[in-house]
Structure 1
Amino acid sequence: MPVLQIADDGFRLDDRPFRIISGGLHYFRVHPQQWADRLRKARLMGLNTVETYVPWNLHEPRRGEFRMEAGLDLPRFVELAAAEGLYVLLRPGPYICGEWEGGGLPSWLLAEDDIELRSSDPRYLAAVDGYFEALLPPLLPFLGTRGGPVLAVQLENEYGAYGKDAGYLGHLAEQLRHHGVDVPLFTSDQPADLAAGGLDGVLRTANFGSRVGPSLAELRRHQPNGPLMCSEFWIGWFDRWGGVHASRSAADAAASLDELLAAGASVNFYMFHGGTNFGFTNGANDKGTYRPTVTSYDYDSPLDESGDPSAKYTAFRDVIAKYAPVPDEPTPSAVPKLDLGKVELAESAGLFAHAGLLGCAVRAERPLSMEQLGQSFGFVQYESELPVAGPAVLRVAAVRDRAQVFVDGQPVGVLERENHEHAIAFSVPRASATLTVLVENQGRVNYGPGIHDRKGLLGEVTLNGAALNGWRCRPLPLDSLDGLPFTATTAAPVGPAFHRGVFEVDRPADTFLALDGWTKGSAWINGFPLGRYWSRGPQRTLYVPAPVLHPGRNEIVVLELHAAAAHTVELRDHPDLGATEE
């Protein structure tokens, strides 16, 4: 493949003018058996390139343990893109934002109390160097300079909105070059942050979704020569729990795209296909109030969460056709979905009764954070003894992020970080009663200084003003539910519980899990983590990719943290991502 060149008058490939028309497609948010389908649809819309972040926290879940298999097989994803005739823009971070848990930074970094992330802190740089050393060698054969599809590699991500450490950016650039990355590097910042986020000798690109003219003018002010590129053209947005479903009209987004391409700029849609925050991988924002992101990352994209073309797909294809060739092939159609109706979840297993099967407790004087326990995702169960009976006020310095409080197994209340809650009052029925606090990591903050986001019960815990010491801290990552002893029940256990049911499928296809009447929790099908649900909305259904299902018998497990009005869920042929704001 030809090599991308940066000239004064724009991009060039094989010494010919070239415009990048790209779209975001994150391999880690799409089932790997669906990668080829999504890439084909990218080409059919008129894209010549796809862009992907690389989530460090999934590839290196524990320091020194690097993974690049199954759904993390990035080389295979790049190979599939090349087979489809697409180029690739690679965004390896180390920080990616992306509404992803912790912005992609692994939680084990936060085991260091005073570490400064995204800086020249030697401890952080040593970890980054190890990450690049593991990540980059398998990707070198795919660089454009070696005949592969990777045109360019991004340096960090929107750093201008975070810091001003040019030495840090310089170190990253040196490491990329040291490990053999010899394609062009680029930075990506919002127009107001271009000065702080840039690095001499590295192409600057800008992120915006509107105000095309002023944004390009600001980019040109900081970069008088070279290509103009919007590396995140925001055509939709993400959702948060308790909000509304974000949307942007196809006509409005297409008009901005037309203006952008008419100016001669290159573009990368954010997103072309958003996908899903499967499991516990969603991020969060905190600008004074903590706001966790929902499971769906549909993003109101040209391809919706299940990979079907939306109104934007056709609108964008028509605009692209004015400036570049598009394939003379039919526009993809929506794929049929399964409507299987209600599924009874007739078996249950209490979480507290079987917690010992899911994690081993660690004893400590004070509650240990998730990071101190070596845990990234899920829950921590904290237990202590209450010394005396009678009225009690429990105070916690910080709850990260949501704590359900129980006394002798009976629920007495909830403390939510989102509501800035730190104290709860209850009556202790007897001396030496057991206090249980189940804390959920609802997603580490992915943007701004809040990325130093440790989870669990942080700081001192007091009871009636006196320090409460002597804790059993049990990590519950829920990365496997194997071995849970489900039994048929007529009434659900008190407190958090797993519920299981089975259903039959003739021919697997995509479907959507609806949990009407359920309150809050997570769901799995055949062991695959679909993600979180919450009656708070806006999202009302969870996407179930066809490859998760099997012909014949299938199993669904739901962890309900509170209570459900029914023992059934429903598999529908359409999603419900909630109401949009008028």
Structure 2
Amino acid sequence: MPVFEIGAEDFLLDGRPHQILSGALHYFRVHPDQWADRIAKARLLGLNTIETYVAWNFHAPTADAFDTSGRRDLGRFLDLVADAGMHAIVRPGPYICAEWDNGGLPTWLLREPGVGVRTSEPRYLAAVQGYFDALLPLVVERQVDRGGPVLMVQVENEYGAYGDDAAYLRTLAQMLRDGGVTVPLFTCDQADDAMLARGGLPELHRTATFGSRSPERLATLRRHQPSGPLMCMEYWNGWFDAWGEDHHVTDPGATAGDLAALLASGASVNLYMLHGGTNFGFTNGANHKGVYRPTVTSYDYDAPLAEDGTPTAKYAALAEVLAAHHGTPRAAVGGRAPAPTPQVPVPREVRSLWPLVDAADGWSTHDAPPTHDDLDAFTGFVLYRTEVQVGEAAVLDLSDVRDRAQVFVDGRPVGVVDRRDGDRALTLPGPGAVVLDVLVEDLGRVNYGPRIGEHKGLVGPVVLDGTPVTGWRTLPLPLEDWVAAAAQPGSTAAGSTAAASPPAAAAVVTPRPGPSLTTWDLPGMDAADLFLSTAGWGKGVVWFNGWNLGRFWSAGPQQTLYVPAPLVRPDNNRVVALELAAAPDAALRFVDGPRWTAVTQ
């Protein structure tokens, strides 16, 4: 069997120097039927390795589950890497950052008071051991010394930016060894002296993360890794976006020039990202460095392969560098062809959410408002309802909203309290006895820094004119159940009694402003990537044939949702959209490619 080692100067594969040319590709951000395509394009680019994180919470939505089927089939993904003649690097965390919800850590674990986060705290380590027990057999049997593709496995992730618990790192390394990992272990940290010192161990190989000034950053790494090969484990060739900000792009020529200098030095590299993919559903993370900034649905990252897998100008520029480095001609790979723009009929139904809410099971009662975590509602929306007596111009103080609260009085919208703006209070109309509804959306859990693991929802007391509000009923919205009913071919939207295929004139219009579910039926079509335009829409979520495409928001910069070709059916297609407020333009349109409201370089 092949042997991969860390030598005195180089990585060694069967005793010969081996330069790792890798690209980051997260299986959990790509439809599984498209994994092979993305891997093939990595090889055509001139890479020899695929790197992936493993998101613990993606596999373990509850404490008693570990799912490795379908889009969670890491084993199949690694087998496809091997089938393409490439190697793999696996980074299982348990913390991964990755602009992923909660940095990959499961929320059910951190709900319990006092459980440690990225420390030697016993309950945290016990849970990590359970995670490794479930995960590692998939990786161990695919190590290179067993005939598989896996060359290396990472311990934790950029730990020097968070803590300095060397005992914790050693415990994780020992867990990996005890679990059967025999290939080299390594750490990675930003190319910063303090972080590299805190985040590594003398017995583990250190790598660095950076995106420019490669000779300078490699020199920093060399101070902490005095012998052995140098490697940039995340070569940041783009960046991610946050709602309400510009779409980031970087200059392909500058990136290519810096990569050429890195490769000429003999260092190994992992392009972050080779292909970003999509934060489907409610999987996006958030950053909080004084201001809360949730990440958008698209994880395009301005990567060499765009969100839909299309080679970009950056792909071509990097291919030139890699071809010159290999001394081989550059492979020709086509660019994006215009995506189909099918005609869309009028909605078959627009239905207010309130009747669905009123009829739903799952309500619970509480004296004070619970957090989402108290309700085991680890993603999505929770409705808080109570009855209050409102005076003239009463002030409602929500204390600490995580992350966005829409306030309704007797079913009618009053206002929004958004954490991004530092809001906490608004004025209610009065006087009189009213039903107060507060719909709170978890916009994505913080994935970096000390706020990892914080609870969501209404955190702290709700106060009306100085008096705490009590007597709450709460409902985690069962959106997936409602959409599953609406998404079935031949069904009516969310259990409506309307005809299965009503004429356009029979479309039901929501009776009052506020949250609604809209359903469209599309004709069958050949499988092809689509781009659903959300220009003119407000804020909400879209499902295509039952697959949660993710959030949309007029705040921008993202103005399209990517529909992977494997979701498109030849017979009938159904789109369901949750709109949280009355949109200026509720028409469903498809455009020929991705759209952004603003771009910064």
Distance between the aligned counterparts of 1:329 and 1:243, measured in 2?
Answer: 36
The question of 1:140 aligning with 2:140 is answered yes
Moved more, 391-400 or 414-423: 391-400
Q: Tell me which residue corresponds to 1:288.
A: 290
Question: Matches of residues 530-541 of structure 1 in structure 2 within 5 Å?
Answer: 530-541=549-560
Q: Supply the AA of the counterpart residue of 1:72.
A: R
SS at match of 1:237: coil
Q: Tell me which residue corresponds to 1:570.
A: 589
SS at match of 1:12: strand
How far 1:327 sits from its partner (Å)?
7.7
Q: Tell me which residue corresponds to 1:469.
A: 470
Which runs of 5 or more structure 1 residues have no equivalent in the other structure? none
SS at match of 2:196: helix
Q: Tell me which residue corresponds to 1:274.
A: 276
Q: Tell me which residue corresponds to 1:299.
A: 301
Partners of 2:386 and 2:470 within 8 A in 1: yes
Q: Tell me which residue corresponds to 1:121.
A: 121
Question: Matches of residues 302-317 of structure 1 in structure 2 within 5 Å?
Answer: 302-317=304-319
Distance between the aligned counterparts of 1:243 and 1:3, measured in 2?
Answer: 47
How far 1:336 sits from its partner (Å)?
5.4
2:546 corresponds, among 523, 527, 530, to 527
Distance between the aligned counterparts of 2:328 and 2:532, measured in 1?
Answer: 36
SS at match of 1:303: coil
Q: Tell me which residue corresponds to 1:515.
A: 534
Q: Tell me which residue corresponds to 1:392.
A: 394
SS at match of 1:225: coil
SS at match of 1:182: coil
The question of 1:56 aligning with 2:90 is answered no
Partners of 1:516 and 1:569 within 8 A in 2: no
Alpha-carbon displacement from aligned partner over 1:518-554 (angstroms, at most 9, x marks no partner)? 1111101111111111111011101010111101221
Question: Matches of residues 13-412 of structure 1 in structure 2 within 5 Å?
Answer: 13-192=13-192, 193-324=195-326, 329-334=331-336, 337-355=339-357, 360-412=362-414
SS at match of 2:290: coil
Partners of 1:107 and 1:375 within 8 A in 2: no
Distance between the aligned counterparts of 1:327 and 1:526, measured in 2?
Answer: 42
Distance between the aligned counterparts of 2:150 and 2:139, measured in 1?
Answer: 9
Q: Tell me which residue corresponds to 2:501.
A: none
Q: Alignment RMSD, CA only?
A: 1.6
Q: Tell me which residue corresponds to 2:503.
A: none
Distance between the aligned counterparts of 2:313 and 2:237, measured in 1?
Answer: 12
Q: Tell me which residue corresponds to 2:490.
A: none
Structure 1's 227 and 343: CA in aligned 2 closer, same or farther, altered over 3 A?
A: farther
Partners of 2:188 and 2:199 within 8 A in 1: yes
SS at match of 1:450: coil
Structure 1's 260 and 392: CA in aligned 2 closer, same or farther, altered over 3 A?
A: same
Q: Supply the AA of the counterpart residue of 1:369.
A: T
SS at match of 1:449: coil
Q: Supply the AA of the counterpart residue of 2:96.
A: I
Q: Supply the AA of the counterpart residue of 2:540.
A: G
Structure 1's 492 and 387: CA in aligned 2 closer, same or farther, altered over 3 A?
A: closer
The question of 1:561 aligning with 2:580 is answered yes
How far 1:91 sits from its partner (Å)?
0.6
SS at match of 2:325: coil
How far 1:139 sits from its partner (Å)?
2.3
Distance between the aligned counterparts of 1:126 and 1:463, measured in 2?
Answer: 43
Distance between the aligned counterparts of 2:402 and 2:510, measured in 1?
Answer: 31
**Would you say how many aligned residue pairs link Structure 1 and Structure 2?**
581
Alpha-carbon displacement from aligned partner over 1:183-212 (angstroms, at most 9, x marks no partner)? 111111001111111012111000000111
TM-score, normalised on structure 2? 0.94
% identity of equivalent residues: 51
Structure 1's 325 and 79: CA in aligned 2 closer, same or farther, altered over 3 A?
A: farther
Alpha-carbon displacement from aligned partner over 1:373-416 (angstroms, at most 9, x marks no partner)? 11221000001110354432111221000000011111111101
Distance between the aligned counterparts of 2:324 and 2:331, measured in 1?
Answer: 16
Moved more, 118-127 or 68-77: 118-127
Partners of 2:350 and 2:509 within 8 A in 1: no
SS at match of 1:479: helix
How far 1:450 sits from its partner (Å)?
1.2
How far 1:328 sits from its partner (Å)?
7.0
SS at match of 1:313: helix
Q: Supply the AA of the counterpart residue of 2:196.
A: L
How far 1:130 sits from its partner (Å)?
0.9
How far 1:504 sits from its partner (Å)?
1.2
Structure 1's 359 and 316: CA in aligned 2 closer, same or farther, altered over 3 A?
A: farther
2:568 corresponds, among 542, 549, 557, to 549
1:505 corresponds, among 524, 540, 543, to 524
Structure 1's 539 and 489: CA in aligned 2 closer, same or farther, altered over 3 A?
A: same
Structure 1's 357 and 253: CA in aligned 2 closer, same or farther, altered over 3 A?
A: farther
Distance between the aligned counterparts of 1:277 and 1:412, measured in 2?
Answer: 31
How far 1:332 sits from its partner (Å)?
4.2
The question of 1:434 aligning with 2:435 is answered yes
SS at match of 1:189: strand
Distance between the aligned counterparts of 1:549 and 1:43, measured in 2?
Answer: 27
Which runs of 5 or more structure 2 residues have no equivalent in the other structure? 486-493, 499-506
Partners of 2:389 and 2:431 within 8 A in 1: no
Moved more, 527-536 or 350-359: 350-359
Distance between the aligned counterparts of 1:503 and 1:137, measured in 2?
Answer: 43
How far 1:326 sits from its partner (Å)?
5.6
Partners of 2:209 and 2:235 within 8 A in 1: yes
The question of 1:485 aligning with 2:504 is answered no
Partners of 1:349 and 1:493 within 8 A in 2: no
The question of 1:422 aligning with 2:424 is answered yes
Q: Supply the AA of the counterpart residue of 1:102.
A: N
SS at match of 2:526: coil
Structure 1's 340 and 71: CA in aligned 2 closer, same or farther, altered over 3 A?
A: same
Distance between the aligned counterparts of 1:386 and 1:109, measured in 2?
Answer: 35
Structure 1's 477 and 229: CA in aligned 2 closer, same or farther, altered over 3 A?
A: farther
Distance between the aligned counterparts of 1:88 and 1:359, measured in 2?
Answer: 46
SS at match of 1:532: strand
How far 1:567 sits from its partner (Å)?
3.4
Q: Supply the AA of the counterpart residue of 1:478.
A: L
Distance between the aligned counterparts of 1:304 and 1:211, measured in 2?
Answer: 24
Distance between the aligned counterparts of 2:458 and 2:111, measured in 1?
Answer: 14
The question of 1:447 aligning with 2:448 is answered yes
Distance between the aligned counterparts of 1:50 and 1:358, measured in 2?
Answer: 45
SS at match of 1:397: coil
Q: Supply the AA of the counterpart residue of 2:519.
A: R
SS at match of 2:378: coil
